[in-house]
Structure 1
Amino acid sequence: MERVKDALAALDHPERDYPALHVAGTNGKGSTCAFVARALEAAGHRVGLYTSPHLVRVNERIRVAGEDIPDDVFGQRILEVLERYPSARTDPMTYFEFGTVVALWHFSRERVDVAVLETGLGGRLDATNAANPVVTCVTPVSFDHMEYLGHTLREIAGEKAGIFKPGVPVVLSRQDPEAMDALLRRAEQLGVPVHVEGRDFGLEVQDDGRLAYRGLAWSLGDLTLSLRGPYQRQNAAVALACLEALHARGVAVTPEAARVGLATARWPGRLEEVATQPSVVVDGAHNPAGVAVLLEALEALYAGRPLHLVFGVVADKDRGPMMRALFPLATSVHLTPLDTPRSLAPERYTDEARALCSRVVAHASLEDALAGARVDADGSPEGWVLCTGSLFLVGAVKRLLA
C-alpha cells in the first residue's frame, strides 16, 4: 500500500474529498456497485464509479455521472498525477495501483458527491483500500486467486475483511459459514456495526412472483430488476442495504430512488445478449461459484434450448469444476484461446472436454470458435450460443461483434 498512499499524499489526499462505498467479495461486486451507483444518481448525486476489469476499453473503469472518462480527460488526469507524483516514473506502481490513483484524483477534480469503489483483488492490500469509505460491503466470498489470498475460505474472507474500518458500518451478503465467521470476527475486533443478509435485510419472491425487500428501515414491494438472472436478487438486496447504510451516514437517498436504481442499472457482460439469430449471450463467470449461479440463471431463462458453448479460460483458474458443470449441458463446445499471456491453449484441455461433451472443437482463434458455435446453433431449433469462462473472453466477443 505504500506507493499508493505516497501518491495520494503527493496529490493532497483527493480520496478525502468525498464519501465512498467500498465493496469487496469474490462474485457479485460489479452488479452490486452498478445498482448502488444508479440509485444514487437517481437521488440526484454526482457519482463516481470505479470498477475492474474493463471489457472493451480501459475508460470503462472510471465513470462519473454514468459516463466513461473521455480519452482527452483521461490523458490529462494521467499527466496531472505524474506531474504531482514524479516518483511514479522511477518507482512505478502496478497498472491497477496507478489506475486507482488516477480514478480517486479524477473523482476529486470532478467534485463527485459520492464514490462507489470495487476492489480489484482481495481487500487488505488492494489499492482501493486507501480510500475513505463511510460504508463497506462484502459480497459472496468463494475460491478464486488462491495463490494470493489463501487456500481456505477463512483466509480469503480475512483478506476481504481487510477493508473494514473502525466506526464504519459493514454490509454482508449471505456467506459460507467459514467465510462468515472470519468476517464477523474481524468486524467484532474493530467494533463496527454489521448488517447481515437474511438476518437484518433480504429480498424475497412473493407468492405472486413479485420481489419485496425488507431491510434496516425500508420495506419495498413490487421491485423490478434490470439485470437478468436469479442471482441478481442477492446483489440487489445487498445494494439496497448499502443504500440504507449510506443514507444513515449522510448520503441522502430515498426508497423511490433506490427503486429506480434497481430497475435501470446496466452492467455489461453479465447474461448480456450481444447478438440475435441465433442468440449470442456473454457472461463473465470465471470461477466455480460464478458458474454455479450462472447455471441457476440458465435454468430459469433458457431451459430446454440447445446450448452451444464458446469457452475460454486463463491458466491459473480452477477450470475442472467449471467444465464439469457446464460441458455436459452443451450440445457442442467450442474451445478458444484468449488474448492474454495467461490464456490456456485449447489443445491443453481438449481431451478433458471430450470426456464431458460428445462434440468438442478446439479452435485457433475466437473468430473461428464463435463462427463454429453460431453455425451449430443455426442448425438446431431454438439453438443459442453462450460465451463464458473469462472476462477476457466477454470483452473480446463484444469487440468482435461490434
Structure 2
Amino acid sequence: MSECALPTTLPAWLTRLEAAHPVGIDLGLDRVAEVARRMGLCEAPPAARVITVAGTNGKGSTVAMLEALAQAHGLTTATYTSPHLLRYNERLRLDGRQADDATLIAGFEAVETARLKGEPISLSYFEMGTLGALWAIARQPPALAILEVGLGGRLDAVNIIDPDVAVITTVAQDHAAFLGNDIEGIGREKAGILRPGRPAVLGSTTLPASVADVATTLGAPVYALGEAFRREGDGEGWRFWGQTPAESKSLVDLPDPELPLDNAATALQALALAGVSLEAAACRRALASVRLPGRMQWLGPWCLDVGHNPHAAAYVAQRLAARPCAGRTVALIGMLADKDADGVIAALAPAVDAWVLASLEGERARSADDLAEHLARQGATLWHRGDSPAEAADWLSARLAPEDRVLVCGSFFTVAAVLAWHQAAAPSAGPTAGHATRSEEAR
C-alpha cells in the first residue's frame, strides 16, 4: 500500500484495501502482531472480558446470541465478525449498533500509521479490518468483546488477542485450500485459539479428538457439550444445564431463537464462564429477540441461509423438514468453485423439490452450468439457470404458487444478492447494499 493521500470515505478505503496486499487470504501472525504492537494493542486487553469464537459452522449464530445475552444482562458489548452481507459496517458492532463510517475510517487510519512506522508492513484486507476493529473497541473498552475467527484459528489475525474464554463450535471440512482435508488437522488449527488455564467451551459432541488433545496439552479447562453442559428438548421450552468453577446453573422453558440450540447452549455456557451470573428472565428475553440476517432468515415464503458446506446444509434441511409447507420447496443456489457442491446438494436434496441455479462472479466463481452438472449426477429437478442470483430470483418469483417456498443458499454472495434484490423490491424493508466489497474473503 503506497504512502499517498489517505482515502476520506469508507468505500474508497475498502477499494484501497482490496488492492493493498498480493493475496486476499494470507494466514500468519508475524506481520499483524508487529503492527498490533506498534499500535499498543498488545499492552492491554481490548475489553474487560474477551470471548473468541472459532469453528467451521455456527460461529455467527453463537456470536449473535452471546451479544444478545450479554446486553440482556446489562453488559456493554463489542462484536467483530466476518464476512458481511450488505455493508462492511456489519462487521463491527458497538453496544448492538453497527459502527459508523467515521469509526471504521479512524481505525483504518490508525492501522495505516502504525504499519508505516519504521519498516513498512503489508497487511491483507482482513488483517487491516481486524486491527482497525480492535483499535476502535479498545478506545472505549466494553465489559465484553466477542471476536469471531475468520478462518482456521491458530494463524487467524483475531488470534493475536488472548481470550478469557475460547469457544469452538463445530469442526468440519471446508477451506481445503488453506486448512487441508484432514479433520484432525483442522481441529488442531481451530484449537489454536485456546490458552493455558483459560476455559475452552466445545460446542459439538462430534469434535475431532485433536481439539481436546490441544486443550489438555495447554492445561485449558474443558467444558464440552454433553458433558460439562447440555441442552434438553427442541423448539420452545427447551432446557439448559451448565456449570462454572463456582456453581451449576439450570434454565428451563427457554424460547426457540430459531438458531441452532447447540449454539445457544454454547453461548450460555461461555457467558457464564466469562463471569456473568445467568438470570432466567434475561436469557429468555435475549433468546426470544435475537435475529441474525442470512441464517434461516424468513422474508415471507423466502428463507435465506448462507450455509455453503454439507454440515451447514444438513442443518438447513432438518429445519425445513420440521416446518413443512403445502406447496413445493425450491432451492435457489449459487456457490463458489472451491466449495463441495455435491455434498451440499446431497444434504439439501431430501427437503428440495426443484432447483434454480445462479452463476456467481469473481475469481472463485462457479457458473450455473457447472452446478447443473452436479445436479444431473444426483438426478435432481432443474428449473432454471440464472446469470446471477438477482436474475434467478426475478425468474423464480414470477412462477411461484402461493403455497410454495424458496430456500436461497450456497454462499454469502448468493444470499447478499437476493437480500438486496428483495429490499430493492420493497424499499421499506431497510437499506440496500453498500460497502459490499470482499464480502466473502474468508469463507
Q: Provide the TM-score with structure 1 as the length reference.
A: 0.91
The one-character-per-residue Cα deviations of 1:283-302 (angstroms, maximum 9, x if unpaired) are 01100000011111001123
Query: 1:75 is matched with which residue: 105, 111, 116?
Result: 105
Query: What displacement does 1:386 show?
Result: 1.0
Shift of 1:132: 2.6
Per-residue deviation, 1:89: 9.9
Q: Deviations over 1:26-80 (max 9, x none)?
A: 1111101111111111122110101111010111001100011101221122112
Paired residues of 1:32 and 1:236 also in contact (CA < 8 A): yes
> What does residue range 123-272 of structure 1 map to in structure 2 within 5 Å?
123-176=153-206, 179-205=207-233, 210-216=237-243, 217-226=248-257, 228=258, 232-247=260-275, 254-272=279-297
1:367-378 matches, cutoff 5 A: 367-378=390-401
The DSSP-based 3-state class of the residue aligned with 2:153 is coil
CA deviation map 1:73-116 (0-9, x unaligned)? 21122112222332599432111111110111010113222100
Do the aligned residues in 2 keep the contact of 1:22 with 1:116 (CA within 8 Å)? Answer: yes
Q: 2:376 aligns with which of 351, 354, 359?
A: 354
Unaligned runs of 5+ in 2: 1-28, 424-443
- Residue 433 of structure 2 is matched in structure 1 by none
The match for 1:66 is 96
**Distance in 2 (alpha carbons) for counterparts of 1:258 and 1:329:** 32
Given the alignment of the two structures, is residue 42 of structure 1 paired with residue 72 of structure 2, yes or no?
Answer: yes
Q: 2:415 aligns with which of 363, 374, 394?
A: 394
- Judged with a 3 Å threshold, the aligned counterparts in structure 2 of structure 1 residues 363 and 87 are, in CA distance, closer, same or farther, namely farther
Shift of 1:344: 0.3
User: Which one is further off, 320-329 or 286-295?
Assistant: 320-329
Separation in structure 2 between the aligned mates of residue 102 and residue 173 of structure 1, nearest angstrom: 29
SS of 1:106's partner is helix
Deviates more, 1:190-199 or 1:82-91: 82-91
Using the TM superposition, give the Cα deviation of residue 303 of structure 1 relative to its aligned residue in structure 2, in angstroms: 4.9
Pairing partner for 1:94 from 115, 124, 141: 124
Tell me the amino acid that sits aligned with residue 262 of structure 1.
L
Q: Report the CA distance between 1:328 and its aligned residue.
A: 5.9
Task: Tell me if structure 2 keeps the 8 A contact 1:139–1:172.
Answer: yes
Q: CA, structure 1 residues 312+60, in 2 after alignment: closer, same or farther (shift >3 Å)?
A: same
Please give the per-residue CA displacement for 1:220-259, whole angstroms capped at 9, x wherever unaligned.
1110133x25xx1111111111011111xxx565444333
| CA contact 2:375–2:382 (8 Å) conserved in 1 | no
Alpha-carbon distance in 2 for matches of 1:332, 1:296: 17
Q: 1:304 to 1:225 in 2, by over 3 A?
A: same
Give the superposition deviation at 1:305.
Answer: 3.5
- Kept in 2, the 8 Å contact 1:327–1:353? The answer is no
Write the letter of the residue equivalent to 1:213.
Answer: F
Once the two structures are TM-superposed, the CA of residue 309 in structure 1 deviates from its matched residue by 1.4
Task: Indicate the larger mover: 179-188 or 330-339.
Answer: 330-339
Task: Give the secondary-structure state (helix, strand or coil) at the position aligned to 1:136.
Answer: strand
Partner of 1:299: 321
Partner Cα distance (1:89, 1:393) in 2: 40
Equivalent-residue separation in structure 2 for 1:296 and 1:234 (angstroms): 14
Asked whether the 8 Å contact 1:203–1:233 carries over to 2, the reply is yes
2:403 to 382, 389, 400: 382
- Alpha-carbon distance in structure 1 between the residues aligned to 2:38 and 2:313: 42
Measured in 1, the distance between the counterparts of 2:87 and 2:74 equals: 27
Q: CA deviation at 1:365?
A: 2.1
CA distance in 2, matches of 1:270, 1:94: 27
Kept in 2: contact 1:374–1:384 (CA 8 A): no
Counterpart CA distance in 2 for 1:105 and 1:30 is 22
* Pairwise CA RMSD: 2.0
Aligned partner of 1:16 in structure 2 is: 45
| Aligned residue type for 2:311 | A
SS in 2 for 1:372: helix
TM-score (norm 2): 0.83
**Aligned partners of 1:142 and 1:153 also within 8 Å:** yes
Q: Percent identity?
A: 33
Structure 1 or 2: more helix by fraction: 1
- Kept in 2, the 8 Å contact 1:328–1:357? The answer is no
Question: In structure 1, how many angstroms separate the alpha carbons of the residues matched to 2:375 and 2:155?
Answer: 36
Alignment of 1:287 with 2:318, yes or no, is no
CA separation of 1:253/1:377 partners in 2, compared to 1, >3 Å: closer, same or farther?
A: same
SS at match of 1:376: coil
Contact 1:309 1:373 in 2 (8 A): no
Deviates more, 1:13-22 or 1:151-160: 13-22
> Unaligned regions of 5+ residues in structure 1, if any?
none
